[in-house]
Structure 1
Amino acid sequence: MTALKFEDQKLPDLDDYAKLAEQFIPGRQAIFAIVESALLELIPQGPAKILVVGAGGGEEILRLGLNNPDWSFVGVDTYEPMVELAHKRLGRTPVGLRSKVHATTIDNLAEKNFDAATCILTAHFVPDDGAKMAFFEAIYKRLKPGAPFTVVDGVGVADDDQTELLRRIWKRHAIRNGISAEVAASNAENFKKVSVVSEQREEELLVSAGFKRLTPIFRGLAIKGWLAFA
């Protein structure tokens, strides 16, 4: 599938982004709840430093940080307007004092030895031409040995009948949640342009990058989530 950068989409006003994402993404609240539950189960009690890859907007850090005051966060995102939005949103909450969000790529982040990492709906913007493998390797190298990594990603195969059916259901789901038919259709078309890979290929990339004990933790139409360990 053709590579599509996040910022190349027809984006809404950024202040409305979180609200619209809830309308578009099946099970979005469940994704955050499952990721938080996984980290609560796997991270030892006490201070923990969490890496958030694709942290623009600040939503993930807010969801994970509000009820977990011992956790601190370092986020990276390549789209500067979303990073600015994250700074604004986090600055209004106590979580902002425990968070840093950088406008950079993960391979340029100097910090390492994280207790956990998350990557929610970001990796499918990275093309599978060697860049996606390098992306996962860069995350792996910044984790402590055995640290948990939760990745939630769009999956699919170009022109596959099942993938196309899931894309159409995605569009219907958005319309049912109040999105106009025109906007829903445009968003569904984006799925043809992002660098999604099959579930099998995603698992192959994660294992090749060094991750072990892959465990599926979420499925919502063409979105799948895994728990893995460095």
Structure 2
Amino acid sequence: MRNEELKALFDQQAANYDQQWAGMTPIRDCLHLLLDALFSGLPENARILCVGAGTGVEMAYLAGRFPHWQFTALDPSGAMLDVCRLRATQDGFLSRCSFHQGYLETLATEPRYDGATCLLVSQFLTDPSARTAFFHDIARRLKPGGLLANADLAADTNSPAYQTLLRGWLKLMSSSDVPQEAIERARAAYAKDVAILPAHQVADLIASAGFEVPVQFFQAGLMHAWFSAQRGDC
């Protein structure tokens, strides 16, 4: 799926996105709980880059836990950022936010961030070299030793285990009141528009882009998450 097609898809879904995926909230909450612990050593006034910020759910969680952190919400979808901005307003942390509509390469490159989140974003880059470049672009914007938390769908799609995981994942989606057409769209996307790689290959891509060897700290079904520090030689 090309960038503009992906942007249009998220523009269309923005208004109802959180409601549509509300059934996945327990997985999201567990991921956020672990993010809290892993990021807790960052400075009191840390600057956090949220790549593919979407509706700002992880920003809102972190803003509530760390009242002096500042956030940059980056997303190509203006409609998603509108929802994110509204959430920040309602939750009282708008003054600590800046919003940048566009892709990562359009963001200033100076290393100004102490940490970054990138949740279910890099999987849409189906070319491995483009995905590595994407992680490198994040590394360049982090201070030396800055922390990255990345989550993506990951599995060995050639393994029989993948079909079991996929059936369970789609069943979970269907039990969460996600429309059947959205589930079928997801099934089709996983086959051609989402780069579902074995977990170790995703970790290797991150490590090759200027990060220490990533530590996998979370898995729920097909979703995996890794934690790593910028090496300081980007």
- TM-score band w.r.t. shorter chain: 0.7 to 0.9
Amino-acid identity (%): 24
Unaligned runs of 5+ in 1: none
Q: Is the 8 A contact 2:120 2:152 kept in 1?
A: yes
Tell me if the contact between 2:155 and 2:162 (Cα under 8 Å) persists in the aligned partners: yes
Higher helix share: 2
Deviation (angstroms), 1:91 = 2.3
The residue type equivalent to 1:185 in the other structure is E
Task: Describe the superposition over 1:80-108 as per-residue Cα deviations: whole angstroms up to 9, x where unpaired.
Answer: 22122212222223211101121111122
AA aligned opposite 1:101 = F
Give the stretch that moved more between structures: 115-124 or 84-93: 84-93
Q: Are 2:59 and 2:71, in contact at CA under 8 Å, matched by a contact in 1? A: yes
CA drift of 1:26 comes to: 6.7
TM-score where L is the length of structure 2: 0.86
Work out the CA distance in 1 between the residues paired with 2:122 and 2:15: 23
| Post-superposition CA distance 1:142-181 (Å, at most 9, x none) | 1111111110111134454322221111111122233354
The secondary structure found in structure 2 opposite 1:127 is: coil
1:126-147 CA-to-partner distances (Å, cap 9, x unmatched) read 2224211110000001111111
Which residue pairs with 1:57 in the alignment? 55
| Counterparts in 2 of 1:10 and 1:106: CA distance versus 1, 3 Å | closer
Alignment of 1:106-125 (within 5 A): 106-110=104-108, 111-125=110-124
From the superposition, tell whether residues 204 and 213 of structure 1 become closer, same or farther in structure 2 (CA, over 3 Å): closer
Q: Could you tell me how far 1:33 is from its partner in structure 2?
A: 1.6
Which of structure 1's runs of 4+ aligned residues deviate more than 6 A? none
CA contact (8 A) 1:52 1:119 kept: yes
| Aligned-CA RMSD value | 2.3
Q: CA offsets, 1:60-80, max 9 Å, x none?
A: 211111231111101211122
Q: How far apart are the structure 2 equivalents of 1:183 and 1:77?
A: 22
Could you say which residue in structure 1 is the equivalent of 2:78?
80
Question: Given that residues 118 and 150 in structure 1 are in contact (C-alpha distance below 8 angstroms), is that contact kept between their aligned partners in structure 2?
Answer: yes
Q: In structure 2, what residue type is equivalent to 1:47?
A: N
Match of 2:127 in 1: 128
After superposition, what is the alpha-carbon deviation per residue over 1:100-120, rounded to whole angstroms, capped at 9, x for unaligned?
121111122115321111101
Q: How many residues align?
A: 227
Q: 5+ residue gaps in structure 2?
A: none
Give the 3 Å change call, closer, same or farther, for CA 151–121 of structure 1 in structure 2.
Answer: same
For 2:65, what is the secondary structure of its paired residue? Answer: coil
> Aligned equivalents of 1:107 and 1:142: distance in 2?
10
Counterpart position of 1:212: 212
Which is bigger in relative contact order (C-alpha 8 A, separation at least 6)?
1
